[in-house]
Amino acid sequence: MCGIIGYIGQKKATPILIQGLRHLEYRGYDSAGLAVREDGKIKCVKEVGRIDNLANKLKQSDLEGTIGIAHTRWATHGGVTQKNTHPHFSCDKKIHLVHNGIIENYKEIKNSLPGHKFVSETDSEVLAHLIEKEYKNNGNLRIAVEKALSQVRGTYGIAVIAEDEPQKIITARLGSPIVIGIGENEYFIASDTTPILPYTKKIVFLDDGEIAEITKDNIQIFNIKDEEIKKPIEKIQWDNKSTGKQGFAHYMLKEIYDQPSVFEDAIRGRIKLEEGTAILGGINMDNYQMRHIDRVIFIACGTAFHAGLVGKYIFEKLVNIPTEANIASEYRYSNPTIGENTLVFAVSQSGETIDTLAAIREAKQKGAFVRGIINVVGSTIARETDGGTYIHAGPELAVASTKAYTNMIAVMILYALQFGRLRKLTVIQGQEIIKALQNIPAQMETILKQSDKIKNISEKYKNFKNFFFLGRGLNYPVALEGSLKLKEITYIHSEAYPGGEMKHGPISLISENFPIISPITKNDLYEKMKSNLEEAKARKSPILAIATEADESIKDLADDIIYVPQTLNILEPLLNTIPLQLFAYHMAVTLGRDVDKPRNLAKSVTVE
């Protein structure tokens, strides 16, 4: 949510800032603006709506400056107006800043600044005025920012420029990510790596409490004690090609089609067929420690939580130890019971989810082994956990997650194999799972070939206003994820329930106007799920089934069927979810929705 891009160097800043904002569109936003220093003054241009609106407005201003900051805003305080759009500025307009996060005590700060004129309804604007006050006291922009931030309660990722310090950007973070890209006599500041990759792959990640002073020739980083520190330069492996649409109409469709290849990336080099096991060295635990783990907890939000629910089933099946999946925003406040042999997996695509980050800090405080299952290299959660595994899904730019979900599950399966083989899982059982895993990419391809058929089915259902998703066992989290995808990008109401819960209330809603979508593949709960759908059919509910290839009996029950290849029960979510992703995608396109940037949503949720 919200995005920051800043530039200082020898090139014109404006084209770089606008292009950077476009790379940040996937995060979700409702307005955008930039501030560029030119001819001794800072010139600020803002506009509500899409970045195209801002770009068109900038055609009237030929900004030549080589230093600037820009921002995409997702409203938290105040409506979607030009005044509430970033950058915000001080009373004298000599200091401009962009801010991600929330200033919890902004009203207190505002009341402590008598005589200052505020023009917006935002919490962010108070920072510009507070920095202005401190700057007048000491005349040093970095020190002024440090002193201002010491008075702040909340989270922030900021970039600041000032007219009186013409060749400098100050940036800092606490709970909201900031990365710095290092080029040749130029630097880039951003809220993630995506807008920086076209220019450099050399990155420095700021940690909480750190502040950087950047000129076109140098960067200095200071900690909370105002001590200069040296940070490692990391090289990002993602390339520009992987962040493009590659001929697809939307990022989401491209990322759905990425799944066979990125799934191979997730398991490559991590399996040992002859031993029937997986080796994930990033766990940073020896065999003795792994054998003595007596409880596993997955903590996550949204799609990652649904992956965690799959992980719960798989761990209990293969490892035979108590496992749970918790929503991070609830877990962090639950006073969880943690034993000395508890293993907590933090699951996140972005690695910046604020609730998940707070939850892992709570788990670490109480003595758990905490490991990450993360996509973004160098992200905050990746750095704050004591080990873990990257899922290698590559950049995911559509707001609605697809390929990260299946790769999270892939890594969970590998971990379950590794732990299971140290306990009761036999080599033959392990080999069977590995062989089935190796078939998954080709099976995904067969599902993707049905995209046109799924599009036609979505046309049939586009006018319904409500949907039920029903599933049992491992297909219950599949139903949850399918329902979430439909809500996210079509704005159609849908609910997901375990099949056995339908009779405990939801059945009262079922009618000919309330379709049911159900993954009902051939597994040990097939007959139970079939009975649930019979009850729905008796009440005239249209039924769309995700069924196993060659299942003829389902034709008597379902109005529409999407077939998937047969696989092991524990691997079914890897296949059964893809038709639901495609169904939601095609439905959204049919309804004219903004598929990659659905309303009100943000890719990376960095505030509570």
Catalytic residue list: 2, 603
Burial of 309 (0-12, 13-18, 19+ CB in 10 A): buried
Q: Kindly state the DSSP code that residue 378 receives in the 8-state scheme.
A: T
- Provide the β-strand partners of residue 36: 43, 68
* Cβ atoms < 10 Å from Cβ of 231: 14
Sheet with 165-174, strands from edge to edge, namely: 88-89, 95-100, 156-162, 165-174, 211-214, 219-222, 228-229
Task: Please give the structure tokens belonging to residue 94.
Answer: 């000599």
Nearest to 486 by CA among 355, 597, 582: 582
Element spanning 356, H or E: helix 354-365
Angle formed by the axes of helices 451-461 and 572-590, to 10°? 60
* Cβ atoms < 10 Å from Cβ of 179: 25
Burial of 456 (0-12, 13-18, 19+ CB in 10 A): exposed
Backbone φ, ψ for residue 27 (5° rounding): -75, -15
539 in Cβ contact with 511 (< 8 Å): yes
* Cβ atoms < 10 Å from Cβ of 281: 10
Position 290, amino acid: M
Burial of 39 (0-12, 13-18, 19+ CB in 10 A): exposed
Burial of 153 (0-12, 13-18, 19+ CB in 10 A): exposed
For residue 87, say if its preceding peptide bond is cis, omega within 30 degrees of 0.
Answer: yes
- Provide the β-strand partners of residue 203: 181, 234
351 in Cβ contact with 376 (< 8 Å): yes
Give, in degrees to the nearest 5, the angle at Cα 100 between 97 and 106.
Answer: 75
Q: In terms of DSSP H, where are the helices of 422-472?
A: 427-448, 451-461
Number of alpha carbons in the 13 Å side-chain half-sphere of residue 499: 23
Contacts of 306 (CB under 8 A, 6+ apart): 405, 477, 480, 481, 484
Question: CA 94 to CA 133: how far, in whole Å?
Answer: 12
Contacts of 388 (CB under 8 A, 6+ apart): 282, 283, 345, 346, 371, 372, 373, 374, 382
* Cβ atoms < 10 Å from Cβ of 526: 19
SS3 404: helix
Question: CA 395 to CA 193: how far, in whole Å?
Answer: 10
Burial of 163 (0-12, 13-18, 19+ CB in 10 A): middle
